[in-house]
A and B are shown apart, each in its own frame.
Chain A
């Protein structure tokens, strides 16, 4: 029983971070209708920002507030100068924007590899491997802090989307771009801001993950895949769904790792992904209607 509870706790803690990754992806998906295949690479970049600051003696949780604005600006630049021009281009394939994000991901990975080489780096802090106990269940300090911060960010994000003017404009654009334009929303600007927000959120996830994970250039790809699985699980464009999806993936991975073996950790995610596509296309959004 303890093993089971421990697995659940580890899964939920990891799921909090995954939710943060997924919300960024789902926002971009909802507003632009494209899948950002550079999402994990953006996170990788944030982890390197954290790593560099950490070598200068800055705590990862403070580096978080440097990485987020930086990645926000990068996201804004990507959307403004690389993705938005493609909307006007007259071309056969509508997937050009998705391919562009693939290219951007490649460039980011390789630039980082160029500067830092492929070596595994780690962000070491005093609390990286410290744990505390609640009964018989151990909690990783770093993951617990990350979970709490992730929850806080998710809450702020919800407040932003539901209550502020800008948030309402974003939701309007996601629901119907043309109608939003007619209502006086500058949809071009909204897409730029949304991509920035998505990048900023995934940057937060990266900075929170850095103390408990290795940092290396190729980590982008697997996390892009995870972000994508989370979004599919939750339903594309649904923020509540992304949280569900994140926690589900976290739980599934840690259950798989405990009961099947470590090498099945990735397979479990993919299997769930395919099962959801087959039996619940539309994801949890279909069940909750949010």
Chain B
């Protein structure tokens, strides 16, 4: 299969690097970041199918994420079985929430649907907060993580990320995948060609909900703690999922992976003050103002995020992978100028 290898050269090399990474780098901090990155690959790919390929932008991915996480958490909390069951069931529970929602709300188009997903997330979050007897309310759910080492989580997350990208690739090159794109391009035309748009939009949503729910269950197992504000968070989950998709490239297979890597890095860069760079500079040079910059940057990580959204939408409306030819042209021209 040399041809298949050649065509997938870059992703395969990358996969090799990611597979070998924990053997070389044993630092827990970087492993933690990598696990987050892999989790976002799963969520971003799922978002990309429903939004990027089917054109139904969801603002409420956190709803499905939270469903998955709460499935894992509640199973262990109420039934005393391993929260890893959540990994098997969380996706189905999320899809089971998504399907009736889609059945009702896919009558709406475009921005209206996006806002309905926003409302779904809000309802679930408020519900999880109020139903204290069942979900523990604001106290949240705490479980004991199964492994002390990060290594098992890393490989589980990696397997999920690879599976989600592979399934995304398979889906978009299958017949339903082309239906999805036709719905995005022109729903009425798709309908008039005999495509049951309502059904296919629901299928697409179920796929997205399923993977997002699995990612949520992984989050529960890995982090060991959830509460309604963490897993149903609009900014930290829903918007982040959109950003991962948009920055990487809407409607591309590998876009979300690139976007996830970039967004997790950027988020952590701000949170840690450029990985302690400014703090270190401040300590070395003995200047207090540099140390202060570190503190200010740490506080400003959401601001950096917001600015990134604005800049990316303005400059790269199709994301890094989508606008790659444009970027290459610009960069080369810059090189020639130098």
Q: Which residues of A contact B (CB under 8 A)?
A: 34-35, 82, 85-86, 89-96, 98-100, 102-107, 109-111, 114, 221, 225, 228, 232, 263, 266-267, 270, 273-274, 277-278, 281
B295 to chain A, nearest CB (A): 12
Asked whether A103 lies within 8 Å of B313 as measured between CB atoms, the reply is yes
Q: How would residues 249 to 276 of chain B score, 1 for a CB under 8 Å from any chain A CB and 0 otherwise?
A: 0110000000000000000000000000
Asked whether B55 lies within 8 Å of A111 as measured between CB atoms, the reply is no
Q: List 29 A-B contacts (CB under 8 A).
A: A82-B314, A86-B314, A89-B317, A91-B317, A92-B55, A92-B251, A92-B322, A95-B57, A96-B313, A98-B57, A98-B114, A99-B57, A99-B313, A100-B309, A100-B310, A103-B308, A103-B310, A106-B302, A107-B307, A109-B302, A109-B306, A110-B300, A111-B303, A114-B299, A225-B122, A232-B115, A270-B119, A274-B123, A277-B105
Nearest chain A residue, comparing its CB with the CB of B315: A89
Tell which of B80-88, B220-228, B234-242, B280-288 binds the partner: B234-242
Which A residues are in CB contact (< 8 Å) with B184? 92
Asked whether B309 lies within 8 Å of A103 as measured between CB atoms, the reply is yes
Task: Provide the bound-state CA to CA distance between A93 and B110, in Å.
Answer: 10
Q: How would residues 301 to 328 of chain B score, 1 for a CB under 8 Å from any chain A CB and 0 otherwise?
A: 0110111111001100110001000000
Nearest chain B residue, comparing its CB with the CB of A89: B317
Task: Provide the bound-state CA to CA distance between A111 and B110, in Å.
Answer: 30
Using known A-B contacts A106-B309, A277-B108, determine if residue A93 contacts B250 with beta carbons closer than 8 Å. yes
Asked whether A274 lies within 8 Å of B111 as measured between CB atoms, the reply is no
Asked whether B317 lies within 8 Å of A102 as measured between CB atoms, the reply is no
Task: Provide the bound-state CA to CA distance between A221 and B104, in Å.
Answer: 25
A245 to chain B, nearest CB (A): 14
Using known A-B contacts A263-B130, A278-B104, determine if residue A90 contacts B305 with beta carbons closer than 8 Å. no
4 other A-B residue contacts (CB within 8 Å) besides A86-B313, A91-B318: A111-B303, A114-B299, A267-B123, A267-B130
Nearest chain B residue, comparing its CB with the CB of A81: B314
Residue B141 at the chain A interface, CB threshold 8 Å: no
Which B residues are in CB contact (< 8 Å) with A110? 300, 302-303, 306
Asked whether A95 lies within 8 Å of B114 as measured between CB atoms, the reply is yes
Asked whether A277 lies within 8 Å of B313 as measured between CB atoms, the reply is no
Asked whether B317 lies within 8 Å of A96 as measured between CB atoms, the reply is yes
Could you say which of A94, A103, A105 has the most chain B C-beta atoms within 10 Å of its C-beta?
A103
Residue B67 at the chain A interface, CB threshold 8 Å: no
Could you say which of A34, A35, A90, A92 has the most chain B C-beta atoms within 10 Å of its C-beta?
A92
Residue B196 at the chain A interface, CB threshold 8 Å: no
Q: Which of B172-186 contact A (CB under 8 A)?
A: 184
Task: Provide the bound-state CA to CA distance between A100 and B312, in Å.
Answer: 9
Asked whether A106 lies within 8 Å of B126 as measured between CB atoms, the reply is no
Using known A-B contacts A103-B306, A114-B300, A266-B126, determine if residue A93 contacts B119 with beta carbons closer than 8 Å. no
Task: Provide the bound-state CA to CA distance between A107 and B309, in Å.
Answer: 9
Asked whether B57 lies within 8 Å of A82 as measured between CB atoms, the reply is no
Residue B51 at the chain A interface, CB threshold 8 Å: yes
Asked whether A93 lies within 8 Å of B52 as measured between CB atoms, the reply is yes
Asked whether A102 lies within 8 Å of B303 as measured between CB atoms, the reply is no
Asked whether B322 lies within 8 Å of A95 as measured between CB atoms, the reply is no
Could you say which of A89, A93, A98, A228 has the most chain B C-beta atoms within 10 Å of its C-beta?
A93
With beta carbons under 8 angstroms apart, the residue of A100, A105, A281 that contacts B313 is A100
Which A residues are in CB contact (< 8 Å) with B314? 82, 85-86, 100
Asked whether A93 lies within 8 Å of B114 as measured between CB atoms, the reply is no
